Amino acid sequence: MRKPIKPSSSKFLIRMAGTILSAALFVWLLTKQDWARTWQMVSEMPSWLLPVAFSLYFGSVIANAVRWFSLIRVQNVEVSFAETLKMVLAGNFASNFLPSTVGGDAVRIAGLARFTGLSISMASTIVDRLLNVLVMLSALPFSVAVFGPFWRENWQSGMGRGMLLASVLPVTWRTKLLKWVERAREAFLIWRNHPGVLLLGFALSWGGKIMVYSALWFLARGLGMDITLTHVIGVGAITYMLSVLPISLNGFGLREVSMTTLYIQLGATLEQASTLVVVTRFILMAETLPGAIWLSETLAGKGIRTEVGAPRTDG
C-alpha cells in the first residue's frame, strides 16, 4: 500500500517546485540576453561601485542586528552585540537553504535561546521580523505611485483582475497567516511599555532598507538605467512581499523574475534589468558567507535554556 505524503514533505516539494520553476523562468530570460552587451555594461561600471554597493548591503545587515539587539537588551537578556551579529549572519546564511527569505529566523531563535528562554527568543524574533514587514508595507504607496497607471490601464483587459486573483492566498496559507498575526500580537505585548524601542526598531528598519535601495539605485545608474530612488523603492516593496511567500528557497527565482519584469516595465532593457538582478544576487550571497563560520556555533551552542525570568513589562 502506498504511503501518504506527509505535510512536511508536500511543503518541501512545493518549495522546490516553486524554486525550480522560478529559476527556470529566469534562466529562460537570460537566454534572451545579449551577453556581449551585458559584459560591456559591467566593464563600463565605475570601479568604486561594487565595493560601495556591498558596503551599503552589509550596513543594512548591521542595522538589522542593532534593531534585534535593542529588542533583546530591553528585556535584560545578557547577550553582547557581537553575539547578536553572529546570530543574524548565521540566520542570513541559513536562509539560502530554507523556505522564503525568513527561513533563517529559526536559526536566530535557536541561537538566542542559548541566552534566554524560548518565549523571549521567539517573541523578539517575531517582533523584529514584523518591524521589517511593517516598513515594507509602509513602502507600498511608492509601488502604487510607480505602477498604479500600468495596473489601471491593464485592469479592463483582465490582466489586473488576474493579478488580483493570483494574490489571493490559499485557505491553508490564510489560516497560517491568522495564526502568525495572533502570535505577533502576543509578542508585541511584551514590548507594549517600551514604545521607544519599537520606534527605534522601525527607524532602523527603514535605515537598513534605504541603504539597500541606495545600493540598487547606484548600480542601476551605473548600468545606464534611467530610474529614480522612488522607482527602486516601489520595485523593492513588491519584490519583498513576493519573496516572503514560502514557495521557494530564500525567494530565489521569484526575486529575479519579479525584479527583471518590473524594471523592464520601467523602461530598462532586458540586459540592464537582468544584469542588475544577477549582480545584486551575487552581493546578497556574498554578504551571507560570514554566517557560515558561526552557523554550527549558533545551532549547537551550550544548549537551550527553558526560561530566564519573566519578560519585562515595566517602563
Give 201-227 as a DSSP string.
HHHHHHHHHHHHHHHHHHHHHHTT---
* pLDDT, position 54: 95
Exposure string (b/e) for 36-70, b if CB count within 10 Å is 16 or more? eebeebeeebeeebbeebbebbbbbbbbbbbbbbb
Q: How confident is the model at residue 98 (pLDDT cuts 50, 70, 90)?
A: low
Cell 527556470 belongs to residue: 24
Residue 314 has pLDDT above 50, yes or no: no
pTM > 0.85: yes or no: no
- How does pLDDT run across 56-83, given as a tens digit for each residue? 999 999 999 999 999 999 888 889 999 9
- How does pLDDT run across 114-131, given as a tens digit for each residue? 888 788 888 889 899 889
Contact (Cβ atoms closer than 8 angstroms) between residue 231 and residue 266: yes
Contact (Cβ atoms closer than 8 angstroms) between residue 305 and residue 116: yes
Domain ranges of the chain: 10-300
- Sequence-ordered list of residues with C-beta below 8 angstroms from that of 110, at least 6 positions apart, any chain: 121, 298, 299, 301, 304
Reduced to 3 states (helix: H, G, I; strand: E, B; else coil), residue 60 is: helix
Residue, of 208 and 101, whose pLDDT is higher:
208
- State the sign of the Cα–Cα–Cα–Cα dihedral 78, 84, 86, 87: positive
Cell digits of residue 47: 570601479
Q: Quote the CA–CA distance of 270 and 301 in Å, as a whole number.
A: 46
